[in-house]
Structure 1
Amino acid sequence: MKPVYYYLFLLAVFSFALSSCQDPTEKTVPVSIQRLETEIFGAKSPNDLAALFKKHPYLKAYFGLPKNTSDSLLVAQLFVNINNQDLQQFQKELQAQFGDLTDLQTQLQGAFGQIKANYPTFKVPQVMTAITGFMGSDLYVSDSVIVIGLDYFGGPKAKYRPQLHDYQLRRYEQEYIVPAILFFISEKYNKVAKEDQTLLADMIWYGKGFEFVKHIAPATADSLIIGYSTQQLADVYASQEDIWAYFIDRKLLYQTRDAEKDRFIGERPATPEISQYCPGGIARWVGWRIVSRYLQEKPSTSLTDLMNTTDPRKILEDSKYKGQKEEE
């Protein structure tokens, strides 16, 4: 698979965003962001942090602790962290970089408004930020609370970065925060047939989730939704006929073995079985293409209809996808 620059302009139509069903009127809802890192770094003793954990009981989940587990060891280590001069300086740098979070707040207000327009029972969660020296999660998303670990999203110029592979670090920049949050939220609405354990079912699940993000935040670049670079998107778009042929020739769509499925749906720097240029998680992208084609074939499909559709084979068949590009 060779880089093909000609297809860069086609990325604008790469994902059909349900535009025929979307109300063009901008919808927003009030969103406030609480700076939890201020409370964390303001703690004068472990007891202050312990009180903070009692005040915000979801923090155990943010730090990956089971609900009924003692947090004493975590509190002790966190207190050591916040008194480390290097982390204190890093915290100040992040505060300066992210500023008052107006852009993030504006994005969330618009996105949550669109979710509520499609799902009237949606309740806007409380949004908080935290800096812990990578002790907590990058993102914690529940129905009621979202915690954003700002230390993870400092980007390539940050003094410290999470210990991840380079291909993963691309997604740990500020502009990826909202698309990642929206994908987490999509899981609640993304209905599946639990008995279907095929690779195709996984592919369609991802495709529906990506379309959810694209519909809720249509101005979001596809690269921010799926985590591929612009060049990777151009390459796979140009080579999708060959990629699709690989899946068909090796009968991968109805594969149910986890190890085999993970080679194409899981996190990897590349998918060398297809090409050294083919990025990891390529089955997720193909799933998105199938869902995109499905929506082109059925333009009256609403977001809720799409998310409620549980038959991946029907979506594939109705999409008429065979590796073709839009202009074909």
Structure 2
Amino acid sequence: MFLPRFALFCFLISVSFVSCNKDKRLESDTSEAVVNVQSENLDQALFACKSVKDVENFLDARPYLAKEYFASSQMDPRQLATRLFNISQNPDFQAFRSQLDSLIGDRKHNILDPLAEAFKQIKYHYPAFEAPKVQFLVTGFTGTDLYITDSRIIIGLDYFGGPSAMYRPDVFDYQLRRYQKEYIVPSIVFFESNRFNKIDPTDKTLLADMIGYGKGYAFVKQIMPTAEDSLVIGYSADNLRRTDASQQQIWAYFIAGKLLYESAEMKKKKFIEERPFTTEIGQKVPGAIARWVGWRIVNRFRAENPGVTLSELMGMENAAQILQESGYNGEPDEVE
């Protein structure tokens, strides 16, 4: 795995390449795929607790919560139970929870049904895939936004109320736009791609990181072909347009600076990690620009190699081969 299994801080995308060949690849017949998405509203069980002891029993019955979902809280079980109970009894937070129900809307329609369709697409390409159980929680930001393993997905709904919510997560302003309900399913699908995204562990270059992210975004776009690009990468529509229009200059900067085969972590972070913008190139170039370029390379590779299936692409570990066979040189796609 080259990416963490939870949190949206590393979640981004790029402009997708459109062609007749790619369109055919996106047409997956999932009519025979059977996916059963089990779900559980843990927030309802938590808010039904009438005492700290009830919360302790709630946590004891689900030991993975304290060990995994609440791991960053660094509280012992009694402290955690007390905090969660106090939050659940707070009138302001109760009002926030009611508001969340309105902002998120029907969980089945807005989250579970789209997830089920995405999981059917994944199962089409990977027949052995088994859908994780989906659980919902509201904990006053005590837990994380998303916790994802092969068998379980925990969604912290309090993070995804959007700009109208009474309370927002404590993240940078440029990250807040992604904390809305529309980002939940694309984010989960992106992290699910980690199961299948083969990365050469000996390749420490920036190019390897770029291609790793690019393959992950290509995975999301194929699994969710109608998803807006802004929901896949997290760039605003304006950033996507500006970046697409200036990609030749961006690519020229990478080449001139010999960045593709850079392996120093501090130098790579400037281009692979999320920032308000990439100062080194220009204030109109968004952060994590190397991820965007990686997706451009992968998209061009797929256009030049239409016979390569999604599973074959995800199994390719050689980043340099993907770059070479893509023929990408910073040029924009032709509009058909």
TM-score range, shorter chain: over 0.9
Whole-angstrom distance in 2 between the partners of 1:167 and 1:15: 32
- Taking the TM superposition and a 5 Å limit, the aligned residue runs for 1:1-328 are 13=17, 18-27=22-31, 29-60=35-66, 61-64=68-71, 70-101=76-107, 102-327=109-334
**Offset, 1:56:** 2.0
Whole-angstrom distance in 1 between the partners of 2:19 and 2:159: 28
SS at match of 2:297: helix
Q: Sort the Cα spacing of 1:326 and 1:141 in 2 relative to 1 into closer, same or farther, 3 A.
A: same
Whole-angstrom distance in 2 between the partners of 1:57 and 1:325: 50
Q: Sort the Cα spacing of 1:14 and 1:286 in 2 relative to 1 into closer, same or farther, 3 A.
A: farther
Preserved contact between residue 20 and residue 299 of structure 1 (Cα < 8 Å): no
- Listed one character per residue, the Cα deviations across residues 180-211 of structure 1 (whole Å, up to 9, x for unaligned) are 10111111111011011100000000000001
Q: Sort the Cα spacing of 1:14 and 1:165 in 2 relative to 1 into closer, same or farther, 3 A.
A: farther
- Listed one character per residue, the Cα deviations across residues 6-55 of structure 1 (whole Å, up to 9, x for unaligned) are xxxx9564699943334443456332432111111111112211221222
Q: Sort the Cα spacing of 1:151 and 1:249 in 2 relative to 1 into closer, same or farther, 3 A.
A: same
Q: Sort the Cα spacing of 1:168 and 1:16 in 2 relative to 1 into closer, same or farther, 3 A.
A: farther
Whole-angstrom distance in 1 between the partners of 2:20 and 2:94: 45
**Structure 1 residue runs without a partner (length 5+):** 1-9
Partner of 1:3: none
Q: Which amino acid aligns with 1:119?
A: Y
Preserved contact between residue 17 and residue 214 of structure 1 (Cα < 8 Å): no
Partner of 1:4: none
Q: Which moved more, 1:98-107 or 1:194-203?
A: 98-107
Whole-angstrom distance in 2 between the partners of 1:203 and 1:303: 18
**Offset, 1:58:** 2.2
SS at match of 1:193: coil
Whole-angstrom distance in 2 between the partners of 1:203 and 1:260: 14
Q: Which amino acid aligns with 1:222?
A: D
Preserved contact between residue 16 and residue 296 of structure 1 (Cα < 8 Å): no
SS at match of 1:140: strand
Q: Which amino acid aligns with 2:138?
A: I
SS at match of 1:128: strand
Q: Which amino acid aligns with 1:20?
A: K
Whole-angstrom distance in 1 between the partners of 2:238 and 2:19: 16
SS at match of 1:129: strand
**Offset, 1:121:** 1.0
Preserved contact between residue 264 and residue 282 of structure 1 (Cα < 8 Å): yes
What is the CA RMSD across the aligned residues, in angstroms? 2.1
SS at match of 1:34: strand
- Listed one character per residue, the Cα deviations across residues 272-303 of structure 1 (whole Å, up to 9, x for unaligned) are 21111000000000000000000001001111
Whole-angstrom distance in 1 between the partners of 2:161 and 2:45: 20
**Offset, 1:65:** 5.6
Whole-angstrom distance in 2 between the partners of 1:161 and 1:144: 28
Preserved contact between residue 18 and residue 302 of structure 1 (Cα < 8 Å): no
TM-score under structure 2 length normalisation:
0.90
SS at match of 2:135: strand
Kindly tell me the number of residue pairs found equivalent between the two proteins.
318
Whole-angstrom distance in 1 between the partners of 2:59 and 2:114: 28
**Offset, 1:77:** 1.3
